[in-house]
Amino acid sequence: MADKEKINVALIGIGYWGPNILRNLVTNSNYMVKYVVDIDEDRLNKIGKLYPKLYFTNDLDSLYEDPDLDAIVIATPVKTHFDLAIRALENGKHVFVEKPMATKVSEIEKIEQISEDNNLVAMAGHTFLYNSAVRKIKEIIDSGEIGQIRYIYSQRLNLGRIRDDVNALWNLAPHDVSIIQYWLDDIEPIAISSHGMDYIQKGIEDVVFLNINYPDNIMANIHVSWLDPNKVRKMTLIGSKKMLVYDDLADNKVTIYDKGIDLDNNQFSYRIDKPTFPEIDWKEPLKVEIDHFLDCIINGVECITGPEHARKVVSILSSNSNGDIIND
């Protein structure tokens, strides 16, 4: 890619999450949005009124064939991610693909291979790894403050939004799997199991419990559901020294508990002290993520959520379904 002041980018998909991506692309002075693509004419017209200076179209061929286009951001249904990403890479475009990058490990490996062969960036949209609270917790873990990690459990629950293209596991759990992998330095699990139930739509699980065992006796449990009375976005991490709660909906998103049970001379003692709330320099995660994509393209910075990380997330999610989105 020749040196220039701006990166020419196209966005495919302006459904649920696409408008948020578009807002961040437009407000970033280092991007020039050349195309906004969607197959829904009503959606194009609606979003087009907000950005009258942008070019909105349903013609995919025009952007793939444009030699001046540097990058393509893909925010379409999951089943389309792989084909759109491969076509972009084969036409010399950097790609940012919303999570999950694809639905099979073999597909991500192909994305990785083509991107490497063509010296292109392939990035997955695991937005929570660009979340200031998640990164602060990583700093706390690495500092040794909470001691050895024993187990992690997460809850990502709500009443809706029900999907018919993926189940609750593939819709919600990529966030928590990605976060846990990040906190644990992307180590490989040694055992994975999941159980879900389809109450609303046959064959599409509304609630899933995912269990992951890691080396050093670390356990993780992920509970996802769009059939729950309360909206919950919470992760609890238990260490040998302290305990920590990350609540994405709370004002104090990270709480550290100096609590534990110690054994000395065959006697148990309970340690309970006041919780602390680490200071967090908050920035919009999606903005940080979009900035990182740019940094990877221009400066060759290693992508935090590149194919290697994306592959491990999809490997965990597909462990009981042979790589398919919905368990048979």
Radius of gyration of the CA atoms of the chain, in A: 21
Residue 4: what pLDDT?
58
How is residue 284 written in tokens?
């919009």
Residue 320: what pLDDT?
59
Positive/negative CA dihedral, 320, 172, 197, 326: negative
* CB-CB neighbours of 203 under 10 Å: 9
Q: What does residue 231 show for φ and ψ, rounded to 5 degrees? A: -85, 120
Per-position pLDDT tens, the chain of length 328 = 444 579 999 999 999 899 999 999 999 999 999 999 999 999 999 999 999 999 999 999 989 999 999 999 999 999 999 999 999 999 999 999 999 999 999 999 999 999 999 999 999 999 999 999 999 999 999 999 999 999 999 999 999 889 888 899 999 999 999 999 999 999 999 999 999 999 999 999 999 999 999 999 999 999 999 999 999 999 999 999 999 999 999 999 999 999 888 878 788 888 888 999 999 999 999 999 999 999 999 999 999 999 999 999 999 999 854 333 333 2
Residue 109: what pLDDT?
97
Contacts (Cβ under 8 Å, ≥6 apart) of 75: 11, 12, 13, 14, 15, 17, 18, 21, 98, 125
Contacts (Cβ under 8 Å, ≥6 apart) of 143: none
Residue 181 near residue 312 (C-beta atoms within 8 A): yes
Residue 127 near residue 289 (C-beta atoms within 8 A): yes
Residue 119's identity, in one-letter code, is: N
Alpha-carbon distance of 53 to 49, in angstroms, equals 9
Domains and CATH numbers, the chain: 7-125 (3.40.50.720), 129-282 (3.30.360.10)
Residues in the chain, overall count:
328
Looking only at the bridges linking them, the beta strands covering 227-239 and 254-257 are unpaired
| Model confidence pTM above 0.85 | yes
